[in-house]
Amino acid sequence: MSFIQTVLLGAIAGFTIYLGLPFGRISGMSEKTRSFLSMTSAGILLFLFFDIFGQIAEPIEAALGEKAYGPFALFLAILGIGFGVSLLGLILFDRTFIRQRPEAAVAPSPRRLALMIATGIGLHNFSEGLAIGQSAGSGQLALAAVLIIGFGLHNATEGFGIVGPLVGKEKPSWKFLGLAGLIGGGPTFLGTMVGYYLQSPAMSILFLSLAAGALVYILGELFNINRGPNTKLAAGWGVFAGFLFGYLTDLVLKIAGA
């Protein structure tokens, strides 16, 4: 598979995220329904968090099993630095530049939260793009094709995860949805280009750990704004549905042997 073909297919896999974004324009629903849909995003992100650490563990455990203590220590250091910089950096940025504004003193706006989710998903999708590019670049064409199809399906669900906080609260413009999709799906395209020529487990761990730290922060915000006593049950069902939905779409990859 040529570089151009790989990049074009990687772009398709990344920008299927736009299939789920139009759900953000749904309006006119009850508070419980809104909370359910918003926390469905949290369920999808929660699954992504566990999935990310599963991917991070593979090269670290492989290095330990081979008694390659140098790479093992390096991978652990990258994991700690990436996770810490992402999580603590977002907290400090929020405290310094956002919470000082009176309108943001209690909770983040749905639009800001949606863009934060898109950023966390984008970091994760860069690593997915790396996997596509590395597979194609090393001649594993069957695996690359499976990854493109599987990640494309998975990214479609992530589009809904981005707009979950907006559903029933704000009706985003098409311009806003276009920006959110670019932030969340564009990194798959970029990762494919980098991965085609660069085989780097360390880079993959870095971006996955950055994504994990961002997702922890975003999950905290989602739970914070959906903890009302009248919506707890609906929110719980939303988390359950989102997690199950994320797992079932990821299962497509596992069944296909990716």
Structure tokens belonging to residue 250: 């990821």
Residue 178 scores a pLDDT above 90? yes
State pTM to two decimals. 0.71
Q: Which of 197, 201, 198 is nearest to 209 (CA)?
A: 201
Where is pLDDT greater, at 81 or 250? 81
In a domain, 120, yes or no: yes
Report how far apart, in Å, the C-alpha atoms of 85 and of each of 6, 55, 91, 130, 210 are: 31, 19, 10, 21, 7
**Using 50, 70 and 90 to split pLDDT, how confident is the model at 75?**
very high
Q: Please tell me the predicted confidence (pLDDT) of residue 154.
A: 66
In a domain, 198, yes or no: yes
Average pLDDT over residues 163-183: 86
Domain range for 238: 3-21+38-255
In a domain, 98, yes or no: yes
Residue 221 scores a pLDDT above 60? yes
In a domain, 206, yes or no: yes
In a domain, 224, yes or no: yes
Average pLDDT over residues 210-234: 80
pLDDT in tens, 126-162: 877 877 787 777 666 665 666 666 667 667 777 877 8
Q: Please tell me the predicted confidence (pLDDT) of residue 165.
A: 79
**Using 50, 70 and 90 to split pLDDT, how confident is the model at 76?**
very high
| Domain total in the chain | 1
Q: Please tell me the predicted confidence (pLDDT) of residue 138.
A: 66
Q: Please tell me the predicted confidence (pLDDT) of residue 146.
A: 61
In a domain, 72, yes or no: yes
pLDDT in tens, 44-74: 888 888 888 888 898 999 999 998 999 999 9
What percentage of residues in the chain have a pLDDT greater than 70? 84
**Using 50, 70 and 90 to split pLDDT, how confident is the model at 92?**
confident
Report how far apart, in Å, the C-alpha atoms of 118 and of each of 60, 139, 244, 258 are: 27, 31, 20, 25
In a domain, 32, yes or no: no
In a domain, 33, yes or no: no
pLDDT in tens, 95-130: 765 555 544 445 667 888 888 888 888 887 887 787
Q: What angle do CA 125, 131, 80 make, to 5 degrees?
A: 65
Q: Please tell me the predicted confidence (pLDDT) of residue 141.
A: 63
